[in-house]
Amino acid sequence: MENEKVQISDEEILHIAKLARIKLGDNEIQDYKKNLEEILDFANIVNSVDTENIGETIGVNENYNRFRADVVTNKEMRDKLLQNAPSQDEGMFRIPKVIS
Amino acid sequence: MNITDLTVHELIDLLDKKEITSQEIVKAYADRIDEKEKDVQAFVTVTTDDASKMAEKIDSEGRNGKFSGIPIGIKDNINIDGVKTTCSSRMLENFVSPYNATVIDKLHAEGLISLGKLNMDEFAMGGSTEHSYFHNTCNPWDLNKVPGGSSGGSAAAVAANLVPWALGSDTGGSIRQPASFCGIVGLKPTYGLVSRYGLVAFASSLDQIGPLTKDVTDSAMLLNLIAGYDEKDSTSVNIEKKDYTKALVKDVKGLKIAVPKEFLAEGVNEEVKNAILEAAETYKKLGATVEECSLDIGKEALAVYYIIACAEASSNLGRFDGIRYGYRAENFDNLREIYINSRTEGFGPEVKRRIILGTYVLSSGYYDAYYKKAQKVRTVIRDEYQRLFEKYDIILTPTSPTVAFGIGEKSNNPLEMYLADICTVPVNIAGVPGISIPAKLDSNGMPIGIQLIGKHFDEETLFRAAFTFEQEVKFRANNKPEFKK
């Protein structure tokens, strides 16, 4: 894998952009594709490292699962939070009709 | 006496002796901002009017603690209740934070006064502050050069005396590299030492908030203020509270310092390399043991960084959907189009590039080859640091392979820009602390920084080594930014 150049097709970059909910203009597709190929080519260095019997580091601290009681706090912030909503109605976020 | 030239510990001395008032300090900074901000452009939001009112209140009611009445600047990805947090993005151009970050609560409790929000690369993605949606920030040493990034506004503001000190955030070098480019002190604390609650997330397993200051003493004092366990950040670590100013002793006798040869190899500017070798000699002269060592993980760490940071970013930035807060596109026919159009119009090109890379490495078929593999290599890198720290107390490297580059010089080549992070990124991957301190100016008058790396939660040894170097070299006493045009 290290020696092969990464090649990404137009369909593939468009599929990834669609998953990320980003629209790429016709003039952007080639640029983003080239950047992604170059960066992935570089990132492939990780495959030259021997990781036989080595665990994954998810976070640098040991205890990353920390539990707390499932209790609602900061309820009083609702109005303040809604002030940043692009569109709101009667204390709720407003969105267009989902099922037509 | 020029108030804005002073460090925070000098300002506190004057406040304690009642030779100066908080209003005089805030006024001096407001005037300085009026005079210099047009050249430096470090701010996104200036709040000196509110700061003046706060200072008036503190002066009339009396100071309630050592730091009461001292101003500060805040990177624009840290939330202050009632103030805009833009992350230098169109996406959050009009976002007013409904709450305080934990670090802000801590500063307010001590009576610190915010002067405003400082410019950055959009969502902290970049190393030059050229990816800000609003404007570039200029390096106070040479206005044609970048201040570094992503905390470029914070570093430039401290260097230009627009704020006495500032908070930044560091995911792959975003505090240390701009500190180095601007000739100031920048600390990335150990992962977990400072709460991330209220810091807009970029890559959650790497992000840390830290101080950008004029000297090492101020750095230790600001870390004292912001460090500590917080139940609102599940990755913050519950360790005993320390007083880092106790570590400010000019003495490195017996300290074991390692200089990895790979960090002085190809790609490192000759003058930067010489500054590191000179620093090594300085430490030797002062009684430390300095040895060359091998730490051959730079490129691997960089690859791991861009995989993991982009994967986490693509996940974290999924929340920007145009529904609850942030930018919403004007034109859409259905819900899906709100998402797509808002994100397409709200994010800049660098942010989109990283979201797409992150989405790619997390997508089915590539997850194991990139993301899972990168997490394993992350373990290898952590182990390498652990191995070195069994023998040494401190690792000495450049902060950046080069000094500040010209505005526009690298902005068209993402990979080249990423490679410039090679000295700082491994520190975030391992979660250990790192500090950048100014060493000297290069032949063009641009600052060169040295980076000291320490063991997990051993900020004291970093401060001791940094303080000793600073007292010996006296960079700040001998050099001042010239605002070269």
Give the least confident one: B98-107, B252-261, B358-367. Answer: B358-367
Residue B395 belongs to some domain of the structure: yes
What are residue B139's DSSP bridge partners? B142
Q: In terms of CA atoms, which chain B residue is nearest residue A62? A: B235
Upper half-sphere CA count for residue A89 (Cβ side, 13 Å): 3
Segments in chain A below pLDDT 50: 1-2
Q: Determine the pLDDT at residue A99.
A: 78
Among candidate residues B15, B227, B234, the one with its CA nearest the CA of residue A65? B234
CATH of the domain at A43: 1.10.20.60
CA B64 centroid distance within chain: 29
Residue B351 belongs to some domain of the structure: no
Gap from A52 CA to chain B (nearest CA, Å):
9
Q: CA B104, CA B40: separation in Å to the nearest integer?
A: 25
Q: CA B449, CA B176: separation in Å to the nearest integer?
A: 9
CA dihedral B68, B69, B74, B80 (to 10 degrees): 70
Q: Determine the pLDDT at residue A1.
A: 45
CB contact under 8 A, A38 and B321: no
CA B193 centroid distance within chain: 15
Gap from B383 CA to chain A (nearest CA, Å):
11
Residue B48 belongs to some domain of the structure: yes
Residue A33 belongs to some domain of the structure: yes
Residue B154 belongs to some domain of the structure: yes
How many CB atoms within 10 Å of residue B430?
Answer: 25
Among candidate residues B69, B139, B76, the one with its CA nearest the CA of residue B110? B69
State how many domains chain B has: 1
Domain range for B397 is 3-257+390-478
Q: What is the DSSP secondary-structure string of B91-140? A: GGTT-B-SS--HHHHHHHHTT-EEEEEE--SGGG--SSSTT-SS----BT
3-state SS assignment for residue A24: coil
Q: In A1-100, at which residue ranges do the beta strands (DSSP E only) sit? A: 88-89, 92-93
Q: In terms of CA atoms, which chain B residue is nearest residue A92? A: B324
* pLDDT, greater one: B267 or B220: B220
Residue B301 belongs to some domain of the structure: no
Which residue in B188, B325, B429 has the most chain A C-beta atoms within 10 A of its own C-beta, making it the best mutation to test that interface? B325
What are residue B394's DSSP bridge partners? B257
How many CB atoms within 10 Å of residue B90?
Answer: 18
Secondary element (H or E) of residue B44: strand B43-46
Secondary element (H or E) of residue A25: none
Dump pLDDT digits (tens) for B223-232.
999 999 999 9
Residue A70 belongs to some domain of the structure: no
Q: CA B376, CA B378: separation in Å to the nearest integer?
A: 5
CB contact under 8 A, B327 and A32: no
Q: Determine the pLDDT at residue A64.
A: 62
Integer angstrom CA distances of residue A55 from A66, B300, B306, B354, B373: 21, 17, 20, 26, 10
CB contact under 8 A, A61 and B379: no
CA B442 centroid distance within chain: 22
DSSP state at residue B368: I
- Interior CA angle at B224 toward B206 and B434, to 5°? 40
Integer angstrom CA distances of residue A77 from A72, B93, B99, B200: 12, 21, 9, 18
CATH of the domain at B176: 3.90.1300.10
Q: Determine the pLDDT at residue A2.
A: 47
Gap from A100 CA to chain B (nearest CA, Å):
10
- For B356, the closest of A17, A42, A60 (CB atoms) is A17
Residue A27 belongs to some domain of the structure: yes
CB contact under 8 A, A35 and B369: no
Residue A90 belongs to some domain of the structure: no
Residue B402 belongs to some domain of the structure: yes
Integer angstrom CA distances of residue B340 from A19, A49, A97: 10, 38, 16
- For A23, the closest of B98, B340, B360 (CB atoms) is B340
CB contact under 8 A, B414 and A39: yes
Write the single-letter amino acid at B86: T
3-state SS assignment for residue B438: strand
- For residue B71 the two structure tokens come to 């101003």
- For B363, the closest of A19, A36, A97 (CB atoms) is A19
Dump pLDDT digits (tens) for B178-236.
999 999 999 999 999 999 999 999 999 999 999 999 999 999 999 999 999 999 998 99
Residue A100 belongs to some domain of the structure: no
Q: Are B302 and B310 in contact (CB under 8 A)?
A: no
Domain range for A44 is 1-48
Between A and B, how many CB-CB pairs are < 8 A? 163
- For A46, the closest of B347, B352, B374 (CB atoms) is B374
Mode of pairing for the β-strands spanning B256-260 and B71-75? unpaired
Dump pLDDT digits (tens) for B381-423.
999 999 999 999 999 999 999 999 999 998 777 887 888 899 9
Q: In terms of CA atoms, which chain B residue is nearest residue A81? A: B98
Q: CA B208, CA B199: separation in Å to the nearest integer?
A: 9
ipTM above 0.85, yes or no: yes
Quote the percentage of chain B above a pLDDT of 70: 100
- Interior CA angle at B217 toward B157 and B151, to 5°? 30
Residue A37 belongs to some domain of the structure: yes
Q: CA A94, CA B359: separation in Å to the nearest integer?
A: 28
Gap from A76 CA to chain B (nearest CA, Å):
11
Residue B466 belongs to some domain of the structure: yes
Surface of A (19-78) touching B: CB under 8 A: 19-23, 32, 35-36, 38-40, 42-49, 51, 54-61, 64, 66, 68, 74, 77
* pLDDT, greater one: B266 or A41: A41
State how many domains chain A has: 1
Among candidate residues B359, B348, B332, B54, the one with its CA nearest the CA of residue B340? B332
Query: Is the Cα torsion angle B479, B274, B450, B41 positive or negative in sign?
Result: positive
Give B335's contacts in chain A (Cβ within 8 Å): 95-96, 98
Residue A19 belongs to some domain of the structure: yes
Write the single-letter amino acid at B285: K
Q: Determine the pLDDT at residue A5.
A: 87
CB contact under 8 A, B300 and A45: yes
Give the least confident one: A38-47, A53-62, B10-19, B150-159. Answer: A53-62
CB contact under 8 A, B299 and A45: yes
Residue B95 has pLDDT above 70, yes or no: yes
CB contact under 8 A, B415 and A39: yes
Write the single-letter amino acid at B127: G
Quote the percentage of chain A above a pLDDT of 70: 91
